[in-house]
Amino acid sequence: MTADQQELALSDKIAATVQAYIDHLNGGTAEQIADLYADGATVEDPIGAPIRRTREELVEFYGIITNLDSRDATLKWTKIAGDTAVFEFTLVTGTAGMSFEITPVDIMVFDENGKIVSMRAVWEQSDLKQL
């Protein structure tokens, strides 16, 4: 396999993982989202927040979203270069009769198997809007 073919194969794996991430935000479990991450991966969401480093911390973090009454994630765009993807999505969540919307930009770095090794989310508290 040529370097260009390997690059394409990784790009395809990354695109599939990004789509699976959005799909699991919509209807998956916290465990399914955590399964997209490599062992030892880090999550900084949002940038500046304490970095989550263990599977247990990832499951706890994503459980906040997956345990809400409703959630709807829509991928807006994705850019992939080398081992990195940058993408924007809108997430609308609902609980206790209230709805919230946020549109973060995530920066993810992947290993050769298409597993996430690092995720940093670009957003700030003022980006979270009550609908």
Q: Which of 23, 35, 37, 45 is catalytic?
A: 45
Asked about 62 being catalytic, the answer comes back as: no
pTM check: above 0.85: yes
Query: Domains, the chain, ranges and CATH?
Result: 3-130 (3.10.450.50)
Give residue-wise pLDDT tens across range 107-125: 999 999 999 999 999 999 9
Q: Which of 21, 37, 62, 106 is catalytic?
A: 21
Question: Which residue type, as a one-letter code, is found at position 14?
Answer: I
Asked about 37 being catalytic, the answer comes back as: no
Please state, in angstroms and rounded to a whole number, the distance separating the CA atoms of residues 87 and 37. Answer: 17
Please state, in angstroms and rounded to a whole number, the distance separating the CA atoms of residues 113 and 117. Answer: 10
Please state, in angstroms and rounded to a whole number, the distance separating the CA atoms of residues 3 and 22. Answer: 29
Q: Under a CB-based contact definition with an 8 Å cutoff, are residues 106 and 86 in contact? A: yes
Task: DSSP letter for 106, please.
Answer: E
Give residue-wise pLDDT tens across range 44-94: 999 999 999 999 999 999 999 999 999 999 999 999 999 999 999 999 999
